[in-house]
Amino acid sequence: MATPPHANRTQTERTHSKIGMRAIPPLMTSILDTFKLDDRIALVTGAATGLGAEIAIGLAEAGAQVVCHGNSRSPEDTCRKIQAAGGVAHPVTGDLGQQQTPKHLMSGVLDRFGRIDILINNAGTIRRSPAVDYSEEDWTTVLEVNLSSVFRLSQLAGKSMIESDRGGKIVNIASLLSFQGGITVPAYAASKGGVAQLTKALANEWAKHRVNVNAIAPGYMRTTNTAALQADENRNRQILERIPAGRWGEASDVAGAAVFLSSAASDYVNGHILLVDGGWMGR
């Protein structure tokens, strides 16, 4: 008897040949399950408003228990939104411009939950001034919050993840100014360039321990921080003309990327700077 033409195909080939048939849903369900964050413990810095709040809510919607950090602005509102939707959230506060704050934040997470699975280093600050007039105080503050605290929190979280042998996910928030210089923001550009390089350096050391370290570089996002740019008719037009997507980014655009990089779906992604910019950098 002649061998049927499909007999020597692999199971994967036979499964993929049934697209649109009932054999596919189990495969798709398995893929979708890798994005779930059920029972994961996450710390999101700068989660009171903007991108950080949306990331915290997104992680909670995916199943994580989220510790929401705030400084001058309270993260209570973000926590209430998560709790109202049936999620678990806890507020913490602290000035990341102070050297000991990362240790206090991480100790609080570990004391409450016994572990940390996801760290989102989102908190940041910016001070604007021409480089020739840039003050030592502004330089120190921006570098401390945007870069040094990212290293300290990552170091503490990475140590816990490695020692527990559970692995984990660290996601840093970089910037378009990780690649470009900007104008009148020398400390911010230096700090965000440092975040990108720190991300790669930590990934090189920790990937073997199943600790994935990656970063997201948001483009022009529709947040309160960019309200003045959006209101400036000429500048708004110039920005939109440069963005292939033709629109400002929404905080939810970054939240989706954060959920991906926090989940098992990104287990083979290490040291990557993921641009979420509507195509700005490719223009």
Sign (positive or negative) of CA dihedral 186, 187, 191, 197: positive
**C-alpha closest to that of 94 among 128, 43, 136, 56:** 43
Cβ pair 133, 84 in contact under 8 A? no
Q: Select from 138, 60, 134 the least CA-distant residue to 97.
A: 138
Two structure tokens written together for 37: 């964050």
Of the candidates 88, 49, 51, 98, which has an alpha carbon nearest to the alpha carbon of residue 67? Answer: 88
Report the candidate in 93, 55, 51 with the shortest Cα–Cα distance to residue 71: 93
Q: How far apart are CA 186 and CA 219, in angstroms?
A: 18
Judge contact between 66 and 82, C-beta under 8 A: yes
Q: Which residue among 134, 188, 220, 268 is the active-site one?
A: 188
Cβ atoms within 10 A of the Cβ of 136, count?
7
User: What is the Cα–Cα distance from 127 to 264, expressed in whole angstroms?
Assistant: 36
Does residue 188 have an active-site annotation? Answer: yes
Residues 111/160, Cβ–Cβ less than 8 Å: no
- What the block records as the tokens of 159 is 């140590």
Residue positions annotated with a catalytic role: 188
